[in-house]
Amino acid sequence: MRQIDSVQSWWNIRQDLSTASLGLVPTMGALHEGHMALISNSQRDNQQTVVSIFINPAQFDDPGDLERYPKSLQQDLAVLEQADVDCVFVPPVDEIYPDNYRFRINETELSKQFCGAHRPGHFDGVLTIVLRLLNIIRPARAYFGEKDFQQLKLIEQMVQAFFLPVEIVPVATRREADGLAMSSRNRLLDPQQRRLASKLQHVLRTSGSPGQASTELEQLGFRVDYVADFMQRRLAAAFLGDIRLIDNVPI
């Protein structure tokens, strides 16, 4: 596994891979089985797989949330080595944002709803980092989980809008045995919060309406940001303490 930390170093390697199909799995580290499912799909579909690890400051509307975000780079690198990943791209912030984030993507409709309504600027940061990574890595395919359903749709639409020559491949949400959607943030939950967290998906699946789901979650002890139906999915974001959880289920 090759570890690359600069754009120019990657471009030097990319020239030698010009005839190979290349898959990209963008991550912010703190890897779990959900990430490994993305990687497995990429390895199935492509001759080479690149995983990026970059905790993107531009998508955190709350500085405290950025500070709390779990960081486990050495453990992540060992996991990727064991998984036979070909390359891992681990750039510092100034490699990704040499412009100090002066240039950014601003989508004006879907990004203002749901998570975007509660996290100003979040999707500007998400779309900007994804566009930059796609332009740097130049993959044939890039892999994103369906847990972040709004994010997935925005990325798909951005790729279409800018005529980017990449296929966005959605991968089904991986869940723990009790139904909790796998997330890097789960490791921040205390034991009591962790037991309660699995109720989020259960309420979304069994409630008759978004309003009913929101009420049930509040009664259980969640602080609800939103519950909404969108594209045959029921989406939700809710807090346990300071930890924000998101999920969605088909309806």
- Is the pTM here over 0.75, yes or no? yes
Q: How many CB atoms lie within 10 A of CB 50?
A: 28
Of 146, 171, 196, the position where a domain reaches its end is: 171
Domain span holding position 53: 2-171
Domain co-membership, 222 together with 144: no
Domain co-membership, 68 together with 188: no
Tens-place pLDDT, residues 124-154: 999 999 999 999 999 999 999 999 999 999 9
* CA pair distance 117, 217, nearest whole angstrom: 20
- 32 counts as catalytic: no
Number of domains in the chain: 2
CB 26 within 8 A of CB 35: no
Res. 212 pLDDT band, cuts 50 70 90: very high
pLDDT at 19: 81
Tens-place pLDDT, residues 83-117: 999 999 999 999 999 999 999 999 999 999 999 99
231 pLDDT exceeds 90?
A: yes
Q: Which of 32, 35, 118, 122 is catalytic?
A: 35
In the three-class reduction of DSSP (H, G, I as helix; E, B as strand; rest coil), residue 48 is classed as strand
CATH of the domain at 238: 3.30.1300.10
| Spacing of C-alpha 80 from chain mean position | 17
Domain co-membership, 107 together with 154: yes
Average predicted confidence (pLDDT) for the chain: 97
Residue of 172, 130, 154 lying closest to 25 (CA atoms): 130
Q: Residue range 194-199: average pLDDT?
A: 98
20 pLDDT exceeds 90?
A: no
